[in-house]
Amino acid sequence: MREEATHSSNMVIVALYDCMQRIVLVTLSAVALFGWSFLTQEINSILSLPLSVTQNTQPTVGLAKGLNYPQGWGNCAPHNAYTNTVSYQNDIATIAQTGATIVRIETPAPLTASSSNTCTSTDLSGIVSAIKPHGMEPLLNILAWCYTPTDPTGCFNESTGKHEPGAQHTTYEAWLTNLVQTSGIQYYEIGNEENLSVQGEDSWGLNRKNNSWYINWDAYPYGWVIPDNKLDAKGVNPLGPCPNGPPAGYATGVKSYIALLKDSYQTIKAADPSAIVVLGGISSWHDECFIDQLARYGGFDYADAVGFHAYPQTFTNGNGAQGAQSVDYLQSTLVSLHKTLPIWITEFGFHAKTQAQELVMAQNISDEWSALKQSVSSPIILYQSTDEPPFKPQGNHSGLFESDGNGNILEKFPAFTTFTNLTL
């Protein structure tokens, strides 16, 4: 035993001696080629590196239950629910009863220096102060329908029916900096279903002159224009794979969204390095080509997480497992890119019209929640918390409860109890 130990020690000494010889030879060669000053600089650079250079310092949030709060979508005008204190306080208190810890709200970004329909930190202070005492955190979804437009006349604004200049970057960045520094919000999502049109579903727009629907080629956000096939919009393939070489206008639009995401990410991080920036929720409808282009042009480099809307293709009373499977392509793409970005499900959900469908809706929510928990370990946020007129009178809704917008909770649907009982 002693002889074996001595032999092993000798082998180690020989190996160390050989290693030292090699280091000396390499050092002498480096000095001969570059001089002592270069070598000294390189050694100092190595010694100055932090010991944890391979550690991932990216902020993360674990599995959490969340709800979309859609009242007052679009702006902070007086009719907005954010200014109706009794309404949103009661709604938020009802949301808290479900055990949700994240509430997704939204605001449009200032597109021009004269923008007046954008929420400021003061406008948002009421809703934020209503959310946080319940142990919940707001996720602010920031919308910008036009950024770096390709059309010199600007982007088409469907709300006005006119072409308007794109976002003034300095105006947007100043607004965002102030918002981050003063609002108390930690989570920001940039864009919403940016792989679809400005209306969030497809290229169909409303003709303001006669209220008829028409193909609105200018409706796509971020200045892009897509040819007739529109990646098979309204067609037989809901996955939206890229055709043979995606249209140039499509790539331009994706890059324009990435410009918005990059500016937002850098601005938010400069104002609060601990804030979390989520790439805007990608719709599961026609997602593949958009994901491919995001990967091609570096879109995943400017986010702490990726948002996704995990809807089944048969939206009303679709299959919950199918909705969960819709995230597979995004996950495989991130793996191929060696990206460890967590996926936030910022929307999933179902519609219902009848009492029978209410029960199916509740079961589908439970099924998809269980399936999603197997594939993601980040927040899963249901669409949506509350319906308010005119949604319920039309007989088709997706909320857990109905609010009248004046502080009264009119009805809790079966899905309310189901969602409340979901566990992490």
Q: Within a domain: residue 36?
A: yes
Say whether both 138 and 251 belong to one domain. yes
| Rounded-to-integer distance, Cα 173 and Cα 264, Å | 7
Say whether both 38 and 162 belong to one domain. no
Q: Within a domain: residue 57?
A: no
Quickly state the pLDDT bin for 163 (edges 50, 70, 90).
low
| Rounded-to-integer distance, Cα 390 and Cα 402, Å | 11
Q: How many domains in the chain?
A: 2
Say whether both 284 and 159 belong to one domain. yes
Say whether both 68 and 9 belong to one domain. no
CATH number of the domain where residue 190 is located: 3.20.20.80
Say whether both 24 and 78 belong to one domain. no
Helix (H) or strand (E) holding 278: strand 276-283
The 8-class DSSP code of residue 119 comes to: -
Say whether both 20 and 85 belong to one domain. no
pTM, two decimal places? 0.78
Q: Within a domain: residue 54?
A: no
Q: Within a domain: residue 412?
A: yes
Q: Within a domain: residue 55?
A: no
Tell me the mean pLDDT in the region 57-76: 73
Q: Within a domain: residue 104?
A: yes
pLDDT > 70: percent of the chain: 60
**How does pLDDT run across 42-61, given as a tens digit for each residue?**
444 434 333 333 333 567 79
CA 178 to mean position of chain CA atoms: 21
| Rounded-to-integer distance, Cα 252 and Cα 337, Å | 22
**How does pLDDT run across 235-254, given as a tens digit for each residue?**
456 677 776 666 666 777 78
Q: Within a domain: residue 53?
A: no
For 124-145, b/e burial (b = at least 16 CB within 10 A) is bebbbebbeeeebbbbbbbbbb
Say whether both 43 and 70 belong to one domain. no
Say whether both 18 and 145 belong to one domain. no
Residue of 254, 188, 264 lying closest to 221 (CA atoms)? 254
Say whether both 38 and 153 belong to one domain. no
Say whether both 208 and 350 belong to one domain. yes
**How does pLDDT run across 271-316, given as a tens digit for each residue?**
999 999 999 999 888 788 889 989 999 999 999 999 999 998 654 4
Hey, what's the torsion of the CAs at 408, 411, 414, 415, to 10 degrees?
Answer: -40
Residue of 419, 409, 334 lying closest to 380 (CA atoms)? 419
Count of Cβ atoms closer than 10 Å to residue 239 Cβ: 15
Q: Within a domain: residue 400?
A: yes
Say whether both 18 and 166 belong to one domain. no
Say whether both 41 and 121 belong to one domain. no
Residue range(s) defining the domain that contains residue 400: 64-420
